[in-house]
Amino acid sequence: MSMKVFTDTDSQFLARVFQPTASSLKMEPIQTVASNLQTTANQSSASALQMTANQSAASALQMTANQSSASALQMTANQSAASALQMTANQSSASALQMTANQSAASALQMTANQSSASALNATVFQTAASNLQVTIHQSSASNMNITLANRAVVDESAVLTVASSSTYAFGATKTVISLSKFSFLVKGGTASVNVKIQLSPNGLTAASNWIDDDTVTRTLTASALTILTPTRFSKFVRLAAIQAGTQSASLTVYYQGQV
C-alpha cells in the first residue's frame, strides 16, 4: 500500500492506515501551512513501513506507528517552524527501526520508541533553537542502537569585574548552574596581578556565611594573562572571587561558559 497526501491550505488533517497482512506500506503527508496534522499506521504483520511528514509552518504534528512483527520501519518528520511535534513507534519484534526528527525552531518535541527485541534502532534529533525536547527509547534486548542529539543548549556570557582592594574580595555575578552538565570561568587579566578563586552556595544569598570556597586552588593571574577555573564540587550557585595580588587595581574580563 502507498498513500500520498499533499495540501497547501489550513486543515485538521488525519491519515490513518490499518493493515492486517504484510505490505510495502508508505505514508507521505506534506503540509505547507499550519494544521493539526496526524498520521497513524498500525501493522499486524511484517512490512516495509515508511512514514514521512514534512511541515513548513507551525502545527500540532503527530506521527504514530505500531508494528506487531518484524519490518523495516522508518519514521521521518521535518518541521521548519515551531510546533508540538510528537513521534511514537512501538515494535514487538526485530526490525531496522529508524526515527528522524528535524526542527529549525522552538517546539515541544517528543520522540518515543519501544522495542521488545533486537533491532538496528536509530533515533536522530536535530534542534536549532530552544525547546522542551523529550526522547524516550526502550529496548528489552541487544541491538545496534544509535541515538544522536544535536544543538545542546549553551551558556555564553561575559562581564567586567573591577578589583580595587588587597584586603576585600570583589565578586562576579552569581550564576545558577544547577541545570548545566559543564561550566567554567575563563578569566582574562587586566593591568595588574590578581588572585582568583571560585565560591559555591546552596542559596545564592549575598551574606558571606552562605558561600564556601571550592576545592580549586586560588590562582594568581598576572597582567593580561588568561586562566580557566572549573568547579570541582557541585552546587546550585557559583561565583568568581578576586582580590589584588599587589597594590594596583585591575579590571578583569570574566567569561561564563557552559552547556546543558
Domain boundary among 128, 150, 172: 150
Q: Quote the pLDDT of residue 254.
A: 97
Query: pLDDT at position 231, please?
Result: 93
- Asked if residue 173 has pLDDT above 80, the reply is yes
- The reported pLDDT for the residue numbered 42 is 72
The count of other CB atoms within 10 Å of the CB of residue 91 is 25
Compute the average pLDDT of residues 53-70: 70
| Cell numbers standing for residue 211 | 558561600
Burial of 105 from C-beta contacts in 10 A (0-12 / 13-18 / 19+):
middle
Residues 177 and 218 in one domain: yes
Residue 154 has pLDDT above 70, yes or no: yes
142 and 165 fall within a common domain: no
β-bridge pairing 2-7 and 182-188? unpaired
Q: Which residue has the higher pLDDT, 225 or 52?
A: 225
Q: Which residue has the higher pLDDT, 155 or 27?
A: 155
- pLDDT confidence of residue 25: 66
Q: 82-137 pLDDT, tens per residue?
A: 667 677 777 766 666 677 776 666 666 667 677 666 666 666 666 655 666 666 66
pLDDT value for 180: 86
Q: Where among 130, 150, 170 does a domain terminate?
A: 150
Q: Are residues 160 and 60 located together in one domain of the fold?
A: no
Contact 171, 198 (CB under 8 A): no
Q: Rounded mean pLDDT of 15-31?
A: 67
Residues 20 and 81 grouped into a single domain: yes
At position 222, the amino acid (one-letter code) is T
| Total structural domains within the chain | 2
Render the burial of 232-258: b for 16+ CB within 10 Å, e for the rest: eeebebbbbbbbbbeeebbebebebbb
* CATH label of the domain that carries residue 241: 2.60.120.10
Tell me: do 138 and 236 sit in the same domain: no
pLDDT greater than 70 at residue 1: no
Task: Note down the domain range covering 247.
Answer: 154-259
Alpha-carbon Rg for the chain in angstroms: 26
Residue where a domain stops, chosen among 129, 150, 171: 150
pLDDT band for 224, please (50, 70, 90 cuts).
very high
Residues whose CB falls within 8 Å of the CB of residue 209, separated by 6 or more in sequence, listed in order: none
- In sequence order, what are the residues at sequence separation of 6 or more whose Cβ sits closer than 8 angstroms to the Cβ of residue 59? 31, 34, 35, 36, 37, 79, 83
Q: pLDDT tens digit string along 125-134? A: 666 556 666 6
Residue 216 reports pLDDT greater than 80? yes
136/53 same-domain check? yes
Instruction: Please indicate, yes or no, whether residues 134 and 213 belong to a single structural domain of this protein.
Output: no
Which DSSP letter does residue 224 get?
T
> Of residues 216 and 214, which shows the higher confidence score?
214
> Is-contact 255 230, C-beta < 8 A?
no
Residue 19's pLDDT band (cuts 50, 70, 90): low
Same-domain check for residues 136 and 160: no
pLDDT at 206: 93
Same domain? 53 vs 120: yes
For cell 519501544, the residue is: 114
| C-alpha dihedral, 231 to 232 to 237 to 243, nearest 10° | -50
Task: Tell me: do 13 and 103 sit in the same domain.
Answer: yes
Strands 146-150 vs 122-127: parallel, antiparallel or unpaired: parallel
CA end-to-end span of the chain, whole Å? Answer: 43
Question: Both 12 and 138 in a single domain?
Answer: yes
What does DSSP assign to residue 236? S
d(CA 11, CA 37): 8
- Residue 34 has a pLDDT of 67
Q: Are residues 108 and 161 in the same domain?
A: no
pLDDT tens for 134-147 read 666 666 666 665 66
Given a contact cutoff of 8 angstroms between Cβ atoms, the answer to whether 86 and 61 are in contact is: yes
pLDDT of residue 197: 97
Say if CB 175 and CB 241 are below 8 A apart.
no
